[in-house]
Homo-oligomer: A and B are copies of this chain.
Amino acid sequence: MQRYKCVLSYDGTGFFGYQVQPNKRTVQGEVEAVLAKLHKGRDVKVTGSGRTDAGVHAKGQVIHFDSPLNIPNDKWVIALNSLLPADVSILTVEDAVDGFHARFDAVGKEYRYYLQLSSNRDPFMRNYAYQYPFSVNVNAMEQASVFLKGTHDFTSFCSAKTEVVDKIRTIEEIDFSFEGNLLILKFVGNGFLYNMVRILTGTLLEVGTGARTPEEMAFILEKKDRRYAGKTAPAHGLYLWKVMY
Chain A residues close to B by CB (< 8 Å): 9-11, 57, 81, 86-89, 91, 120-124, 126, 128
Residue numbers in B under 8 Å from A81 (CB-CB) = 121
Which chain B positions have C-beta within 8 A of A89?
A: 120-123
Ordered by A's residue number, 18 sampled pairs between the chains whose C-beta atoms are within 8 Å are A9-B122, A9-B123, A10-B123, A11-B123, A11-B124, A11-B126, A57-B124, A81-B121, A86-B121, A86-B123, A86-B126, A88-B123, A89-B120, A89-B121, A89-B122, A89-B123, A91-B120, A124-B128
Q: Please give, as numbers and ranges, the residues of chain B lying within 8 Å of A88 by CB-CB distance.
A: 123
Residues of B within 8 A of A121 (CB): 81, 86, 89
A120–chain B nearest beta-carbon distance, Å = 6
Q: In the complex, what's the smallest C-beta–C-beta distance from A114 to chain B, in angstroms?
A: 11
Total identical chains? 2
A86 to B128 CA separation, bound complex (whole angstroms):
12
Cross-chain contact B123 with A87 (CB below 8 angstroms): yes
A12 nearest in chain B by CB position: B123
Rounded to whole angstroms, the CA-CA distance of A57 and B81 in the bound complex is: 26
* Contacting residues, chain B, for A123 (C-beta < 8 A): 9-11, 86-89
Question: Which residue from chain B places its CB closest to the CB of A121 in the assembled complex?
Answer: B89
Residues of B within 8 A of A91 (CB): 120
Q: How far is the CA of A9 from the CA of B10 in the complex (A)?
A: 25
Knowing A81-B121, A121-B81, say if A126 contacts B87 (CB, 8 Å).
yes
Q: Which 4 A-B pairs have the closest CB atoms?
A: A11-B123, A86-B126, A87-B123, A89-B121
Report A128 CB to chain B, min CB distance, Å: 7
A11 to B126, CA, bound (A): 10
- Shortest A244–chain B CB gap in Å is 21
**Which residue in chain B gives the minimum CB-CB distance to A8?**
B123
